[in-house]
Chain A
Amino acid sequence: MSDKELTQRSAWETVLASLKKRSLWMLHYCTGCGAVELPPTMTSRFDMERFGIMPMVTPRQADILLITGYLSVKTLKRVILIYEQMQAPKYVVGFGSCTINGGMYWNSYATMKSLDRYLPVELYLAGCMPRPEAIISGFNSLIDRIDRGEANSWKDYYENYEFYRKNQEHTFGDIETHRSIADDAQYYGFVEVTK
Chain B
Amino acid sequence: MSGTYTVPTGRPEAARGEKRSASAIVAAIAELGGESGFAVKAPRRVEGRVEAAALHGFAAALRMRVGFEHLSAISCVDWLADGEFELVYHFWSYRDNCLVSAHVRIPRDTATMATLTDLWQPASFFERDIHEMFGVEFLGNEDLEKYILTDWKGPPPMRKDFVSRDFAHDHFTYKNYEPSWDEMIDGGYYSGGQNGGQA
Contact = CB atoms under 8 A, between A and B. Distances in A.
Q: Do A and B come from one complex?
A: yes
Interface of A: 73-74, 77, 100-102, 106-110, 112-114, 117, 167, 171-173
Contact of B168 (A74, A108, A117, A167): A108
A172 B174 contact: no
Given A109-B167, A113-B168, A73 B175 contact: no
B191 interface: no
A100 B151 contact: no
Contact of B157 (A110, A117, A173): A110
A176 B35 CA distance: 52
A74 B173 contact: no
Contacts of B165: 107
B6 interface: no
Contact of A114 (B154, B162, B173): B173
B194 interface: no
B175 A109 contact: no
A72 to B, nearest CB: 9
A117 B148 CA distance: 23
A73 B150 CA distance: 9
Contacts of A108: 164, 168
B174 A102 contact: yes
| 7 shortest interchain CB distances as A-B pairs | A107-B165, A113-B172, A109-B164, A109-B167, A101-B175, A172-B151, A109-B157
Interface string B142-179: 00000011110110010000101101110111110000
B168 A106 contact: yes
Nearest to B150: A74
B149 A110 contact: yes
Contact of B172 (A74, A77, A112, A173): A112
B148 A107 contact: no
Most chain A CB neighbours (cut-off 10 Å) among B153, B157, B175: B175
A108 B148 CA distance: 15
A172 B153 CA distance: 10
B148 A114 contact: no
25 contacts: A73-B151, A74-B148, A74-B149, A100-B175, A101-B174, A101-B175, A102-B168, A102-B174, A107-B168, A107-B169, A108-B168, A109-B154, A109-B162, A109-B164, A109-B168, A110-B149, A113-B168, A113-B173, A114-B172, A114-B173, A114-B175, A167-B173, A171-B151, A171-B172, A173-B151
A114 B174 contact: yes
A71 to B, nearest CB: 12
Given A77-B151, A102-B172, A109-B167, 12 more contacts: A73-B149, A73-B151, A101-B175, A106-B168, A109-B162, A109-B168, A113-B168, A113-B173, A113-B175, A114-B175, A117-B173, A173-B153
B187 to A, nearest CB: 22
A114 B157 CA distance: 21
Max chain A Cβ within 10 angstroms of own Cβ: one of B151, B157, B172, B175: B172
A77 B150 CA distance: 11
A110 B171 CA distance: 10
